[in-house]
Amino acid sequence: MKILKYLFLLLLVLLIGGVLYTTLQPNSYDIKRSKLIKAPIGVVFNNINDFKNWKSWGPWYDEDPSIKETYSEQTSGVGGAYSWTSKDGPGNMKTIAVEKNKSISQKLQFSDYEPSDTYWTFEETEKGTNVTWGMKADKIPFIFKFIGAISGGMDNMLGNMLEKGLNNINNVIPEYIKNNPPTPPKVTFTLGSIIAINQEAQQFIGYKQVSKIDHTAMTKLYTEFMPKAEIHAKTQKLAHTDYTPAAVFTKWDEEKGETEFYIGLIVRKDVALDKEMEKITLPVGKNIMITKYGPYGTGDQEAHMAIDKYLKDNSLSQNGAIWELYLNDPETVSSEAIETEIHYPVK
């Protein structure tokens, strides 16, 4: 009987000690782990943003195969949610804030306990996407503090789970990409009406280019020489109203796939030429013009075909170099609002 009494006292001491130890544990936590996932940021973000994908990498499924999910009508983005039941009781999670390709904030609740916060951050790098997954709470229920205490602390308990989940995401992303190939953004453009005008003579200054008719190659030339032309305008103390970025096409050979053109500025004041710059006078005369709204390189062919049809319908023919005016800064407007004027001198 004394042995039983001593055992009872020992268990009581252990229980009281355990309760005291648990009580002394912090009432809050903020645990997070990070991992570099070798995939585009949009792919990684889209996978994590939709709760329906979590079953393929959730670290808790290996430990509790009894989990059964119920999805709401919306499973991604703000308002996306799902719930579950398992041997450990019910739970639910809801997304409360999203910043595309940057962060996701969610509320996680087990049974009727106080909800905790789950958060994700995404950072694009040269090697892929750095993903951080974290969990935090300000008021930890006693039972969770006790489980955390006997598990070696909340960081040890939750940290291992977060690490496993991130590793699982890294493993399933290749298959996810295969089943969900990225959709290229839809690029749109619009064309204005074709207008016949009597064009006054204009002065153009620019750098001569010879290139294959290839969008990538020509874009590279524009990227190099258009800023160079604008820097020259500033050194000549030209105001923005004194010039317009432009290009003059003196040769366009579809058969050989070659083009000759100049990248520079229409100027409304006399200006000294930069090294390797040439001056071209765009002559007075009849001119056919169309305005294209949309990204550079998109809709250009349709614009030129529209003018070609107009020339044929009106028995007109091209009479000299074609030129384009770039009327606004693509960094200050939406891609659909980028404005390009295309001019054909005719006779």
Res. 21: pLDDT tops 50: no
Has domain 190-345 been given CATH number 3.30.1360.120? Answer: no
Would you place residue 28 in the very low, low, confident or very high pLDDT band (cuts 50, 70, 90)?
low
Q: What are phi and psi of 130, to 5 degrees?
A: -85, 115
pLDDT of residue 17: 41
Indicate the domain borders of the chain. Answer: 27-179, 190-345
Would you place residue 196 in the very low, low, confident or very high pLDDT band (cuts 50, 70, 90)?
very high
Say which amino acid occupies 256.
K
* Residue in this structure with the two tokens 């010879």, named with its chain if needed: 210
Lowest mean pLDDT of 14-18, 100-104, 180-184, 286-290, name the range: 14-18
CATH superfamily of 27-179: START domain (3.30.530.20)
- What are the tokens at 6? 């001593």
Lowest mean pLDDT of 68-82, 85-99, 102-116, 178-192, name the range: 178-192
Instruction: For residue 287, give every residue at least 6 positions away whose Cβ sits within 8 Å of its Cβ, in sequence order, or none.
Output: 196, 197, 198, 199, 343, 344, 345, 346
Q: What percent of the chain has pLDDT over 90?
A: 69
Res. 167: pLDDT tops 60: yes
Res. 16: pLDDT tops 70: no
- Per the DSSP assignment, residues forming a β-bridge with 97 are 105
pLDDT of residue 138: 78
pLDDT of residue 345: 96
HSE (CB half, 13 Å, CA atoms) of 18?
A: 15
Find how far residue 232's CA is from the centre of its chain.
Answer: 33
3 state DSSP class of 319: coil
pLDDT of residue 151: 53
145-153 own/partner pairs: CB under 8 Å, 24+ apart:
145/22, 145/23, 145/25, 145/27, 146/18, 146/22, 148/25, 148/29, 149/18, 149/21, 149/22, 149/25
The mean pLDDT value for 165-193 works out to 88
